[in-house]
Amino acid sequence: MNIILLGPPGAGKGTQAAKLVDGRDMIQLSTGDMLRAARTSGTEMGQKVAAVMDAGGLVTDEIVIGLIREKLEGDKKGGFIFDGFPRTLPQADALGDLLAEKGETLDAVIEMQVDDETLVKRVVNRAKEAAAAGQPVRADDNEDSMRFRLMEYYKKTAPLIGYYYAKGDLTSIDGLAPIDEVSASIDKILG
């Protein structure tokens, strides 16, 4: 089973992906993690990633699709969770083409719907709690950064909601429900 988790930053996609990895033996394909791993891998693709990142550039869609292609050719376990990809309509088309080429399907696109103001409060509170506990606080865990990240999400990634809705692949759930309720909603979608 191959799925995409969609939702703005802070919606809980990573938390739910971890639960699917544990509960269904799925493989989480986080583009950030894949880029970091590729950079130090020494492979041909890894050398391309390192060169772009070292030059301060943005990694191209072609490189990200290449990394995903490598993962799809390995052990599939319980299927793949696409986390942080696709982020744009061209990436969605490229992913669809790649899955078709590999004889794979996209089984579900799950949109975790959340209220922006609640998300901003969640991130600010997370930063306060971390600081109070003497833990490191992420540099972007503040109100201004979160509002900027939300704006970027709505400009670039939100069009995917309509794209996957039109294809009949999209199911929306309440991303602000308690973690276990969100997990139960996802399990119900996946069957």
CA dist list (Å): 163 to 5, 41, 59, 142, 166: 14, 34, 23, 31, 5
**Exposure string (b/e) for 69-101, b if CB count within 10 Å is 16 or more?**
eeebeeebeebbbbbbbbbbeebbebbbeebee
* 54-63 own/partner pairs: CB under 8 Å, 24+ apart: 59/35, 61/88, 61/90, 61/91, 61/94
Q: Which residues are catalytic?
A: 13, 87, 126, 138, 149
Cα separation of 105 and 121, whole Å?
37
Strand-strand pairing, 27-30 and 3-6: unpaired
Cα separation of 22 and 39, whole Å?
26
